[in-house]
Structure 1
Amino acid sequence: MNDQYKYFEKTLTPNIARELIQELFAGQTVQKQEIMRVVVEKHLERGGLPTIAQRNNPVTLGLWHMKREGQADSSSGDNWVIPTSSQDDESVDAEQDDLDPEKIIGSGKQAVYLYYYPAYQRLAELQGKEIWACKIGKSRNDPVNRIVSQTRTALPEFPEVGLIIKTDQLNLMEKTIQNILKLRGKQMDDAPGKEWFITSPSEVERVYECIFENL
């Protein structure tokens, strides 16, 4: 245990995992399971705390972000290539760092996304509710960039990216999910725009599973 560790007594997150991956595996080709094992092991050895995430593994999300930003490659199957990072590679936009998706499902080059502001979720929890204001939109490219561009100065807190659904049926998936929520009376009539719904990441995931998962 090392109380000088930058993330001493911090739970493992995708951003922490990404830093450890770059530190421990730069210039190597390694199997994903080995990366996951060593990152968790080193984080705990140094005094970090295990993840509290109940959905995607933070190491998996860390690798996904690295691949998206050209800092890792998995084209050789289960083996991941972690290049030696230059100073330019390590300079990542701080706003994007704070927007790690809670869960990524589906497959494809485009994405339907759901984000929300934590204040609305906290209020719903205080009221004993499991649904709150969420925005459901689409992006042909990087969904995180799209969300950052929409929320950069909107409120004095970063949004939470509750769900990203990767797809090659972008318009169909977005409209289908939104229309089902409308039929359930979930659309927020008083919100700016037509993409805000009283829902939750888990409800939208269930809609996706019912309609698209087996297509």
Structure 2
Amino acid sequence: METYKYKDLPITPAIIEVLIIELFNGQTLKRDDIVKIILEHHISNGGLRPEAKDFPRSVKKALSNMQKKGDTINKSYGFWEIHKNEAPIQTKENTIKETPIDQIPTHNIYGKGDNAIYFYYLPSYKTLAQVQGKNTWRCKIGRTDRDPLSRILSQSSTALPEIPIVEFIVKTENASILETMIHSILTIRNKHIKDSPGIEWFDTNPEEVLDIIKYARKDII
């Protein structure tokens, strides 16, 4: 196993800049998540805690320095795009418009019907969970009576900081009933994320939700 190059060293703004590129290049995520992931990654690999008392301020300074060099973009309040390469940096609006629906990562499509349940998450949420040693992360479980990928794409272009991973889509004629059942079971398990916009975000993973669907509708999966 390769030795962590910053082992036994306190984390500094210069180290923060390197780790931001190594861990997040090509992603857009919240600064708060960057703070958590960077510090936990450094310490879990043998690095020392920062000497500065206000570590979030150090991360903010590192991001600002990187922005001056063209390595980051402050997309909106609290959200940063990390993009260090030779290619021109695209804006969020251009990236979304140029992404064909059939290129949105979709792992599985089950069932038949005019309505659908969709399950997606942002890559940065899963990355944060993995660094923290967790097997669940913030996921959205919603329903639609039109094309689910069009629905998800419309959300990503207006309300999401990065293109989501669509883990699966379940087509059915009774999406409302199935969605209510999934939400209810996850809420009973204390998986609902109360500080999220709307009622569709849960701390879960694809396997847990698929198990619920299999229990409720064995004929679909």
TM range (shorter): 0.5 to 0.7
- 180, 186, 193: which one pairs with 2:185? 180
After superposition, the C-alpha distances for 1:109-153 in whole angstroms (9 at most, x for unaligned) are 211001110000011111111110011110111000001111114
State whether residues 129 and 135 of structure 2, in contact with CA within 8 Å, keep that contact through their aligned partners in structure 1: yes
Q: RMSD of aligned C-alpha atoms?
A: 1.8
User: Is the partner of 1:103 in helix, strand or coil?
Assistant: strand
User: Is the partner of 2:140 in helix, strand or coil?
Assistant: strand
Shift of 1:97: 3.5
Shift of 1:93: 6.0
2:188 pairs with 1:201: no
Correspondence for 1:107: 112
State whether residues 156 and 162 of structure 2, in contact with CA within 8 Å, keep that contact through their aligned partners in structure 1: no
TM-score (norm 1): 0.54
- 122, 132, 137: which one pairs with 2:127? 122
Give, in whole Å, the separation in 2 of the partners of 1:178 and 1:204. 10
User: Is the partner of 1:138 in helix, strand or coil?
Assistant: strand
Give, in whole Å, the separation in 2 of the partners of 1:109 and 1:180. 24
How many residue pairs get aligned? The number is: 124
2:172 maps to a residue whose letter is T
User: Is the partner of 2:203 in helix, strand or coil?
Assistant: strand
Give, in whole Å, the separation in 2 of the partners of 1:205 and 1:133. 16
Correspondence for 1:160: 165
- Counterparts in 2 of 1:156 and 1:189: CA distance versus 1, 3 Å: closer
Task: Give percent identity, aligned residues only.
Answer: 42
Unaligned runs of 5+ in 2: 1-96
Correspondence for 2:29: none
Larger Rg: 2
After superposition, the C-alpha distances for 1:76-108 in whole angstroms (9 at most, x for unaligned) are xxxxxxxxxxxxxxxx96242431311112222
Give, in whole Å, the separation in 1 of the partners of 2:132 and 2:177. 34
- Counterparts in 2 of 1:208 and 1:140: CA distance versus 1, 3 Å: same
User: Is the partner of 1:152 in helix, strand or coil?
Assistant: helix
1:96 maps to a residue whose letter is I
TM-score (norm 2): 0.53
State whether residues 95 and 148 of structure 1, in contact with CA within 8 Å, keep that contact through their aligned partners in structure 2: no
